[in-house]
Amino acid sequence: MKIKIILSILLGFSATSCIHKTETSKSTDFTKLRFSLDHVVNEGETDPVFYNLGKRGFTLQESYVDHPGPVRCRFINYSTSLNDKRRFIEFCQISDKKKYIENLKTENKTFKQATASSMAVAINKDLETYYESIKDNFAAYAFKFQHRNYNWKQDNVSRLPGWNHVWFDKPLYDNFFIFMSEREPTEKGIKRRASYYRKKVSDRYRHANGTNNLIGVLLKDFDSTKLEEFLLTERDNSRLALHDGTNLWFTDKAKNELKNLLADKVYPIQAVILATHSLKLFRSKAKPDMDIDFFGEDAAVIKLPETMWDIIVVER
């Protein structure tokens, strides 16, 4: 019942109403709105970390994506999210730190803010239509929509196939960056080697270390009320479940062992949680740094630098 009330407040119409029409003349059935975990990002000096993970049994996507900044982003892919054929973890390397910092000055952002790890969620509806419907409700957080063409280097004026993002220019929480992501069909302009197209889709998601799914994120504890309202879900003690079955866990209910493990982390996103059918296989191939108890489950950990999230793997 609480979710229906929140939905009504956010969208400014009765929760029993089926269709909400926007100025764009599009219509979306928001009563069936569903959020899913799309991807989680580390940004900074990530290339050494990324390639080291390849040595530990992760399949590294051969292609990369360049974004303004300048940053170059690389990917490790997992199974389907609601609106796409994959969910993934992303590593964005600052390719020119001096230029990057200069660009930040024009955006009034600090280096710490810009390089904070972030997470993206997706919805099962048209993102721009959704944005137009609720933007006024999040005006205090400078809720914004952005489209960027895949081939933005050649044409950044025409509206061509590309990425759609919605984010809070004023974050819901300090140094916690959550945004919405949508990838339009036809990824023209993204550099891919010929071997990428020779691989079956399943091979791109198969990892020698046995990991097979991105099932959630571990967050440093905070009052998650605003996050619950945004994601249209409710927290149950240490866990906030999204509609696709992925979870956001919070460290407040974790054992001291887990708190101590993550004590050095700079940002609220503490770790990504991956699943495997066999922890024995993962331990054999990935050589994790330690074993822990993760909310009552046996788990293995790959430690990353303090400004990045760690990788925790459980058997499912």
User: What pLDDT digit, counting tens, does each position of 33-56 carry?
Assistant: 899 999 999 998 999 999 999 999
Mean pLDDT of the 13-40 span: 56
User: What is the distance in angstroms between the CA of the first residue and the CA of the last residue of the chain?
Assistant: 31
Amino acid 185: pLDDT: 83
Contact between residue 122 and residue 83 where contact means Cβ atoms under 8 Å apart: yes
Alpha carbon distance 31, 19 (integer Å): 8
Alpha carbon distance 195, 187 (integer Å): 17
pLDDT band at 203 (very low <50, low <70, confident <90, very high): low
Domains 32-198 and 209-315 fall in the same CATH topology: yes
User: What pLDDT digit, counting tens, does each position of 260-311 carry?
Assistant: 778 889 899 999 999 999 999 999 999 999 999 999 999 999 999 999 999 9
Alpha carbon distance 6, 238 (integer Å): 21
Alpha-carbon 290 to chain mean position: 25
Q: Residue 228: count other Cβ atoms within 10 Å of its Cβ.
A: 17
Domain boundaries defined on the chain: 32-198, 209-315
Q: Residue 109: count other Cβ atoms within 10 Å of its Cβ.
A: 14
Amino acid 247: pLDDT: 96
- Of the candidates 292, 270, 255, the one whose C-alpha atom is nearest the C-alpha of residue 222 is 270
pTM: 0.85
**Secondary structure, 3-state, 155-211:** CCCCCCCEEEEEEECCCCECCEEEEEEEECCCCCCCCCCHHHHHCCHHHHCCCCCCE
- The number of helix segments (H) and strand segments (E) in the chain equals 10, 18
Alpha carbon distance 169, 141 (integer Å): 6
**25 class by beta-carbon count within 10 Å (0-12 exposed, 13-18 middle, 19+ buried):** exposed
Alpha carbon distance 241, 233 (integer Å): 7
Q: Residue 281: count other Cβ atoms within 10 Å of its Cβ.
A: 16
Checking if the pLDDT of 4 tops 50, the result is no
Q: What is the spatial order of strands in the sheet that 310-315 belongs to?
A: 235-236, 239-241, 247-250, 211-219, 269-276, 310-315, 297-302, 290-294
Q: Considering the domain delimited by 32-198, tell me its CATH architecture.
A: Roll (3.10)
User: What pLDDT digit, counting tens, does each position of 133-145 carry?
Assistant: 988 888 888 889 9
CATH superfamily of 209-315: 2,3-Dihydroxybiphenyl 1,2-Dioxygenase, domain 1 (3.10.180.10)
